[in-house]
Every structure is written in structure tokens, then in C-alpha cells.
Amino acid sequence: MYSTTGIEASNYVSTFNTAFYFITGVSLLLLVGLTFTMLYFVFRYNKKKNLVATQIEGNTFLEILWTVIPIILSLVMFYFGWAGWKPTTRPPKDAMNITSVARMWSFLFVYENGKQSPELIVPVNTPIKINLVSMDVIHSLFIPDFRIKADIIPGREKFMWFLPQIEGKYKIFCAEYCGLQHSSMHSTVNVMSQEKFKAWYAESAKVAAVGENAGPGAAGEAIMRAQGCFACHTPDGTKLIGPSYLNLYGTQQVVLREGKEITVTVDPEYIKRSILEPNADITKGFPANLMQSYRSTLSDDDIAKIIEYLKSLNDK
Amino acid sequence: MSTQKDIEEPSYLDYKGKYRGIFSWILSTDHKRIALLYLFSILAFFATGATLGLLMKFELIAPGKTIMTAQTYNAFFTLHGIIMIFAVVIPGLPAVFGNFLLPIMIGAKDVAFPRLNLLSWYFYVMGVSLVLISQFTGQGPPDTGWTFYAPYSFRTTGNMLPAVFGAFVLGFSSILTGLNFLVTIHRMRAPGMKWLKMPLFPWTLYATGWIQLLATPIIGITLLMIIAEKTLHIGFFDPALGGDPILYQHLFWTYSHPAVYIMILPAMGAISEIISTFSHKTLFGYNFMVASSLAIAFVGYFVWGHHMFTSGMSSTALYAFSLLTFLVAIPSAIKVFNWIATMHKGSIDLQTPFYWAMGFIFVFMIGGFSGLILGSLATNIHLHNTHFVLAHFHFIVFGGTGFAFFGAMHYWYPKMTGKMYDSRWANIGLFLFLTGFIVLYGTMFYLGYKGMPRRYYDYDEIFHTGNIISTMGSWVLYSGLGIIIINLFASLKSGAKAPSNPWGGKTLEWSVPSPPPVENFKEIPVVTKGPYSYK
Ligand code: HEM
Ligand SMILES: [Cu+2]
Ligand SMILES: [Cu+2]
């Protein structure tokens, strides 16, 4: 999947390479040159060979020389870096818009027709502009093969754009520390042929289809996978950051409402509130402010499916 | 204990003052005793931080869980970062070698404010204690990373406040030391020691003092703002309260970038002393060395933005910061050229401190060159926040400051303890240390280039081989470190007595007995020649 054999997965690879190889090349030359000069002096002017040192106070010409040459070199380095970065600020007008919704600890990609996917699916050779939205803390969308990354900052409008040039799957990592599961916050870019992408884009299902042996609640489970609920909740009784879903439906819960402890029943009403206003009732023993509202990405219908799924976990 | 017969004054180690036992140390206002207080506290915290590093590297030997949970790993790199930055490398050279040697090198009997000097050690201990307390109280250790980035630092249940407050107190310690050194250098130089007759190490302490005095208050305010926001819910940084997380990053790096120069400048000063002494030659381009130290301190204030290239600053800010970053590299390059030129036509005595200086130049160059790669915009966008950055700053702060610290340790050890150490073991230790260092951190350049982000508890299978090699490097580094430290401690007992000038150095500290008497000089010397006058 990951290849550095000169394939240019995105439009940034070649400009990155120019800057990287130029700076690295010059640096390696200097590193080797200076190290060997030093070793040679140490060998040649060892006190066994050179009993008395020649006192030299300095040499202004040399000082000027080794100030000016590095300045020129570094200006050239700066130029290559700047030239390679400039295009990142100018997305083409006809770029396809996708919104990336980041939250602890998942990415969700929302398309203009309302389609949602946990994987970034894009057509090859089409400029893609990603609007970066964070629901909670700072994350960073990083696609190593594309040589691009951008921080995702809550409350700020930001974007990144790129041109995928080769079909295939590429890793996405979160590159800004965002808490417990930061290192499991990853996804993939799936670059498809234009035709395949069109077919996928036209599929009516909002969330990618579920496996054949779909039981009750399968649709809800798929939605929750896409939304990243399982980063904090498990279906099997294990406690992560949030309470497990196992046997949750219908039980009595102690919650903190406005600082007071009260007991509630986990019914559809309560679940809906938990998803849309997670900080209204805080389940006792769990941290507040971690789960963020899903108002912008889940419809009433989705929530109904989620409730179906939670119910299904009670029979186990 | 002193070796010269003509001196009756007791050394600072033998001196009997008002207090006995431990109190003769922790209540002493002698700059030399305070230096040793710092030395032992810093070594203890370094050992703690280094052990955390070793455990983290062990965790990373394979993807998934090896020996600890993600929660523990996150707490470890946070504590490791806070300890190493605020409690080890920032105070490191100034508080230990600056305290011990600055007054002697400029021909003074002590620093300008001896009591303030002791107070700053107490602030230091209080600061670190607060950081340690944060580990064991509240709802779990802090897990924000040493950068405390908002808004995560407001979401986490980790016990962040005491740690932040600890860093704040450590800042005070740093300010007091800086202030003390500035006044000492301005007012207490021996008669005849004009500014340009001062050795390089005091010069770099002088430049550092200004950074400590002017930059540290910024982090102080910032940390106070966090505390106010967390307790009083005033929205400075958290968007949920109407604050701006990017403002936090600006404030944080406005201090933390110059702080890198607090770490590296005194290191460069110590290396300059070592190279001149063992080459038996005056420092090449002394004036340019002084000027470049001041230039680094000055330009260092204007490059903080290079930590935020991907955060969405304006385009103008991006290229201005990138350009300035390239310019700040120039004075460092000038220093490297001058060090190497000093060796030319010298009469080089290959002793342990000189090997450390060579090691320093080598790893510092790698650190600096990788800094150019990170300072360039197109490459930064790929490499930012990856293991490449981790490698870069370990090469600079551990490679730079760490190598200089151990170099200084082996250079001034005879002066400080009155003993010589076993140089064969010292060299073996250095060799292992350098090898381990390059394997451990060199591999991280590759991992970062391939795309492995930093602060990653778990990683993709493609990064496995690199991590195995890197972890094995950490074991080699550790064996080296162990040998070095054991050797130095063992030599306290078994080492031969040190003469007052074992290396043939020309600066003033070599004119007083080893270890120096309480008041350093019987008579304040009158300086007539430059600092490295071998003629
Ligand atoms: C003794 C050997 C050392 C080892 C084995 C070591 C190893 C590590 C490791 C494994 C990490 C975390 C990697 C990650 O997941 O991002 C780290 C982070 C760090 N290290 Fe070290 N390190 C050592 C010494 C030092 C020294 C001497 C310094 C002095 C400045 C230092 C400063 C830092 C800092 C500032 C961080 C970043 C912490 C953060 O991300 O918040 N380390 N080190
Ligand atoms: Cu993250
Ligand atoms: Cu910096």
C-alpha cells in the first residue's frame, strides 16, 4: 500500500521531493565535508604530530565567506520550500467539496449529496477540497503518501486540497495529539476510477451497505461504526471512555443533571437526549465534555436505528 | 584536600560553616555548593525522565500493547517531556556549570545575589515537586503532552493544574538565575576584564540570561491564563468558552522557541572552552563567536511560528517565519565553522572532553540540518508532528545540550571534585552512548519520513522494523549512560588527586586550586590578556 518508489500519488509529491532532496543533499554534503575536515585536523594536528600550536586569532575574509555562502544556500532552500507549498493555498475552482468531521477518535467524511463515509472515497484525477471541521479538540488530517497535512481546529474554518493521481488505498493518520486513542484515529483514502466513484456516489444508501447476515439493528450498528461511537463505547461490556452498550437499554441509570444526582430510565427519549445533548445528563462515574453532540450528522431516523441496535444487545 | 601546599584556606567541600551535615548544603549560599545541589537534583530527574523514555521505547518495540496501556503511555510522554524540558535541559548547564564557574571565570568571589541564588534552587525543587504531585493526586496523571495544547487540556480529566503550576514555578527559578547572572556579569568582572576579554562560556550565559529574563514571563502569563480558564472559566483558549486555541499556541511558542536557545547557548559556550583548551590554541574568530551568540539570542525570538505551519496562519506569516528560521541557522553554522577552524594547526590533546566536543559537533550538525528540512514549508507540511520532529529535537536538545553537559562534566570534573576520573571507562561509555544515540534517534528520521506521527502509542505494521531497530538503540545508549555515570561516581573514591590545571587551560578557573577554596580567589586577579592567550 505504502510506496516510495517514485509514484506520485498526489500533486504534492514532486514538489516535496524537490525541496527534500535539495536540502537533504546539500546538508549531507556539508555534514560529510565538515566531519571529515574535523577528523583530518584531529589526526593531522594531534599533539604527537604537532607539538606547538600556531596561534591564529581569526580571519575576517573567511568569516564573511562562511556567512555569505550559507545565507545564499539557505535562501535557495527557502525558495524551494516556498514554491512547493504555495499551491496548497490555492484550490482550483472546480474542486469537489467534501467535509471532514473529526472528533475523538474518528474521521467522518460528508459529501455534498449528504452521503457519509468513515473512509475518504474520491475519484482519481479530480481536485478534492476538504473542509476541515472538528467537533471537540484539535486534530490533524495527515495523508503521508500525498505529502500533505492540515490541523483541524474547532471553531475555525479551514480546508486542504489535493489532486489524487493514482488509484489505490492510502493511509490517513491523525497527526495532532487528541487524547487517549489518538494513535487509533486513522482512516484510509480510497482513490477510485471516475466511473466506480460515480456508481458509489449515486447509491442511495446514506451509509455503506451492511453484511448479508444483517440481523435487527444492523443498520444502526453500521451508522455507529461510521460515526465512530465505538471509539468510546463497546458492545461487549468492556468499559472504555464511555459506558458499554451491553444491556444498557431499559436499565436504571444514575446521572448528574445540573450537578444533582437523579435516576433515569434508559428509554428512547433518554438515548436521543444522550446523543443530541450529551452534556445535559452525565452518567455517574464518567467524564463530562468528552462526548459531543451529533446534531449535525445524525437525523431522527438514524437515531431510531441506533436505538434498534441498542435494544438488540439486550437479548445477548 | 587541596594539592598546593602554599594554600591554607579549606576548599569549598571541606569548609565548616554555621551549619552541619545536610544543612551545610541546603542552606549554603556558596555558588559552588548550590551548583552541586542543582547537579544532583538534575541528575536524579534526568534518571527519572530517561527511565520513562526507555519504557516508552520498549512499549514501541511492537504495535499494540506491549507493556503498558495507552493511558500510561500518554502520561509517560507528558511527564517525560515536562521533566526533560523544564527540569533538566533548561536549568542544566546554567544552573550547574554556570553557577559553579561563572564567578570563577570572571574573577569574582560569588554571584551578585547569593541568597537569591539559593532561593531559585528552592523554587526549582518546589516546581518539580508540584509536577510529581500531579502524578499521584486527582483523577489521574496529566496526559496533555508537555505543550498543554488547548482545548484538549481543558477536556482531559488528567490532573493538569498542579503540573501547569509546577512549570510556572520552574519558570520563576529560571528568571531568578538569569537575573542573577546578568547582574553578576555586569558588575563583578575582575579589574581589567573588559567585555571582550571575557571567555565564551560567560558570554553565552549572558545571552541566555536575557532570554530567561525576557521570554520566561510570557510562559508564566500563559500558564496563569490556563489556570484562570480552568478554575474561573474565563474563555481565553477554549473555543467552547469563546476562546482561541491558536492564541494559546502563539503564546506557548513565543516562549518555548527562545527556550531552545536557553538550552543550546550555554552548551555552545562550554564546547568553545573545551575545544580551545584541548587544541592549546586561542579560539578562532572570538569576536564572531560572541556576536553570533548574541545574534542567536536575538533572532531566536522571531521564529516561534515554525511550530505552527500547519495550523492555518496567514500565508504571509508562514513565509516570514520560514525565512527567519533559515536565517537563525546562520549564526549556528558560523559557530561550527569557527570550532573546526580552531582545531586547524592546533596541538590537539585527545582527552575525553574533547571527544565529547567532537560528538557534539557531529550530532548538532545533524540536528541543525534536519531543522532546515523542517523549516522549509513544503517539507514541513509532510514532516510536522511526525517522528522526524522527534528525532530533530532529540538531536538538538539531547544531542546538543546533553553532549555538551557530559562534555562539561568531564572537563570541569577535576575542578569541581578535586579528583581525576578513569578516562578509559569514560571513553568506552561515550562510544556506546554515541552509537546508541545514532541508532535510537537516527531511525526516527526514517520513521517520520515514512509518515509515523509522534505521540503514537500504537502504529501501523509498516513502521515495525524501524521501531525495533530504534528500541535496540535505546538499550545501547543506556549501557553507555550507565558506564559514564558509574565511572564518575566511582572516581570520586578511587580517582587520583587533580592538580589545579590538569588540561593546560588558560581561563581563570584553572588558576585556582582544585577544588576551589570557599572564596575562590585569595586575591582578586587583575586581567591583562584575552581569555585564551597561549602566546
Ligand atoms: C534518555 C533517553 C531518552 C529516550 C529513550 C527518549 C525517548 C522518548 C520517547 C519514546 C518519546 C515519545 C515519543 C512519542 O510517542 O511521541 C519522547 C518524547 C520527548 N522527549 Fe525524549 N527521550 C530521551 C531523552 C530526552 C531528553 C534528554 C530530552 C531533553 C529535552 C527529551 C525530551 C523529550 C520531549 C520534549 C518529548 C516530547 C514529549 C511530548 O510529546 O509531549 N528526551 N522521548
Ligand atoms: Cu489525534
Ligand atoms: Cu522552535
B155, B346, B373 member nearest A290 (Cβ): B155
Counts for chain B of helices (H) and strands (E), in that order = 18, 0
**pLDDT confidence bin for A1, thresholds 50/70/90:** very low
- Give residue B224's pLDDT band: very low, low, confident or very high (50, 70, 90): confident
User: Mean pLDDT across the stretch B328-345?
Assistant: 93
CATH of the domain at B346: 1.20.210.10
Kindly provide the b/e burial profile for residues A246-266, where b requires at least 16 CB atoms within 10 angstroms of the residue's own CB: bebbeeebebbeeeeeeebeb
How sure is the predictor about A315, in pLDDT bands with cuts at 50, 70 and 90? Answer: low
CB of B265 closer than 8 Å to CB of B328: no
B149: chain A residues, CB-CB within 8 Å = 138, 176-177
Ligand 1 binding site (Cβ under 6 Å of any ligand atom): B 50, 53-54, 56-57, 77-78, 80-81, 84-85, 88-89, 145-147, 390, 394, 397-398, 402, 454-456, 474
B164 in Cβ contact with B227 (< 8 Å) = yes
Domain of B28? Answer: 20-357+499-511
| Residue B173 counted as domain residue | yes
Q: Rounded distance, CA A251 to CA A264, Å?
A: 8
How confident is the model over B389-431, as pLDDT tens digits? Answer: 999 999 999 999 999 999 999 999 999 999 999 999 999 999 9
Instruction: For A208-315, give the CATH class.
Output: mainly alpha
Tell me, what's the pLDDT at B189?
92
pLDDT at A278: 87
Reply yes or no on whether the pLDDT at A209 is more than 80.
no
- Mutate which of B390, B437, B478 to test ligand 1's pocket (most atoms within 8 Å of Cβ)? B390
Which of these ranges, B157-161, B168-172, B230-234, has the smallest mean pLDDT? B157-161
Architecture of domain A96-204: Sandwich (2.60)
Q: What is the mean pLDDT of chain A?
A: 87
- Could you identify the atom of ligand 1 that is nearest to the CA of residue B263? 30
pLDDT at B128: 93
Please answer whether residues B59 and B67 qualify as being in contact, where contact means their C-beta atoms are separated by less than 8 angstroms: yes
For position B535, what pLDDT does the model report? 67
pLDDT in tens, B499-513: 989 998 889 999 998
Cis status, amide bond into A216, omega within 30 of 0:
no
What is the count of structural domains for chain B? 1
B2 pLDDT exceeds 90? no
At residue A260, the pLDDT reads: 85
- The average confidence (pLDDT) of chain B is 90
Q: Looking at the complex, report in whole angstroms how far the Cα of residue A171 sits from the nearest Cα belonging to chain B.
A: 9
Domains A13-89 and A208-315 share a fold: no
For residue B157, pLDDT beyond 80: no
- Residue A163's pLDDT is what? 94
Residue B28 DSSP SS3:
coil
The H or E element containing residue B153 is helix B152-155
Residue at B194 is within a domain: yes
What mean pLDDT do residues B318-347 have? Answer: 92
Residue B453 lies in a domain: no
What is the residue extent of each domain of chain A?
Answer: 13-89, 96-204, 208-315
Please tell me which residue, B12 or A168, carries the higher pLDDT value: A168
A227 versus B16: the higher-pLDDT residue is A227
| Confidence (pLDDT) at A114 | 81
Q: Can you tell me the distance from the alpha carbon of A10 to that of A121, in angstroms, rounded to the nearest whole number? A: 15
Residue B445 in domain:
no
ipTM of this predicted structure: 0.91
The answer, for B143 touching chain A at a CB cutoff of 8 Å, is yes
Confidence of residue A80 (pLDDT cuts 50, 70, 90): very high
Check whether B302 has a pLDDT greater than 60.
yes
B518 vs B50, B215, B411, CA distance in Å? 34, 34, 21
CATH of domain A13-89: 1.10.287
Band (pLDDT 50/70/90 cuts) for residue B80 is very high
Ligand 1 pocket test: pick from B77, B396, B447 the residue with the most ligand atoms within 8 Å of its Cβ.
Answer: B77
pLDDT at B182 over 60: yes
Which chain A residues touch B145 with a CB distance below 8 Å? 177
Which residues on chain B are in Cβ contact (under 8 Å) with A83? Answer: 378
What is the predicted pLDDT for the residue at A208? Answer: 52
Q: What is the mean pLDDT of residues B62-80?
A: 92
* pLDDT cut 90: percent of chain B above it: 61
Instruction: Starting from the CA of residue A105, give the closest ligand.
Output: 2
Residue B474 has pLDDT above 80, yes or no: yes
pLDDT at B230 over 90: no
What was the pLDDT predicted at A234?
A: 85
pLDDT score for B4: 47
Chain B neighbors of A71, CB-CB under 8 A: 327, 330
pLDDT at B138: 75
- Identify the band that residue B60 occupies on the pLDDT scale cut at 50, 70 and 90: very high
Which tens digit of pLDDT belongs to each residue from A185-208? 999 999 999 999 999 988 766 555
8 Å CB contact of A184 and B366: no
Q: Ligand 2 centre from A105 Cα, in Å?
A: 7
Residue B29 in contact with partner chain A when CB distance is under 8 A = no
For residue B386, being part of any structural domain is answered with no
Residue B309 domain-assigned?
yes
Of B344, B348, B378, the CB nearest to A85: B378
CA dist., res. B370 & res. B396, Å (int):
10
> Does A7 score more than 70 pLDDT?
no
| B380 close contact with A: CB closer than 8 A | yes
> At residue A211, does pLDDT exceed 50?
no
Number of A to B CB contacts under 8 A, please give it. 264
CB B437 within 8 A of CB B473: yes
Give a yes or no: residue B268 inside a domain: yes
Q: Which of these ranges, B101-105, B146-150, B425-429, has the smallest mean pLDDT?
A: B146-150
pTM for the model: 0.90
